[in-house]
Amino acid sequence: QVQLVESGGGSVQPGGSLRLSCAASGFTLDYSYVGWFRQAPGKEQEGVSCVSVTAGSTHYAESVKGRFSVSRDNAKNAVYLQMNNLKPEATGVYYCAGLYGQCGTFGDAFGYTSTPYDSWGQGTQVTVSP
């Protein structure tokens, strides 16, 4: 089975930066997208960003455009999320997911379509506070 492991989380002050990594191990599968999602305490999960594995095209939630950047290194089976100018509302657990469905902006919202083959990591904590 495939495992996705996130790393790079931590605690930073507002305006700071973090770089999250998502590394795949085990059997390799041909995902269509790798997405980043986050969940704040007491709130529903929200999509942050995703990248097409084959084409490298990127998609972002409106709240992070211009500040976050997602990239992939297929040779390393890794995806990265560079987060700059972090704000307190970015606090939460960040998950990466290997997706076989669609991911991107649908109308005015960021979202994805789930499949039985999607894989999710365990999450990494990001805390933004003074």
Sheet holding 68-73, edge to edge: 2-7, 18-26, 78-83, 68-73
Confidence (pLDDT) at 25: 83
The answer to whether residues 14 and 88 touch, using CB atoms and an 8 Å cutoff, is yes
Residue 127 has pLDDT above 70, yes or no: yes
Cβ neighbour number for residue 119 with a 10 Å cutoff: 18
- pLDDT on residue 28: 62
pLDDT at 29: 65
Structure tokens at 119: 């894989």
Residue 61 CA to residue 53 CA, distance in Å, equals: 18
- Residue 63 pLDDT: 94
DSSP E strand boundaries for the chain: 2-7, 10-12, 18-26, 33-39, 46-52, 58-60, 68-73, 78-83, 92-99, 103-106, 109-112, 119-120, 124-128
- Residue 87, pLDDT > 70, answer yes
Residues 40-75: tens digit of each pLDDT: 989 999 999 999 998 999 999 999 999 999 999 888
Q: How far apart are CA 102 and CA 90, in angstroms?
A: 24
- Please tell me the number of Cα atoms within 13 Å of 1 on its side-chain side: 7
Q: What's the pLDDT at 92?
A: 98
Q: Please say if the pLDDT value at position 84 is more than 90.
A: yes
CB 32 within 8 Å of CB 101? yes
Q: Mean of the pLDDT values across residues 88-115?
A: 94
Q: What are phi and psi of 2, to 5 degrees?
A: -95, 135
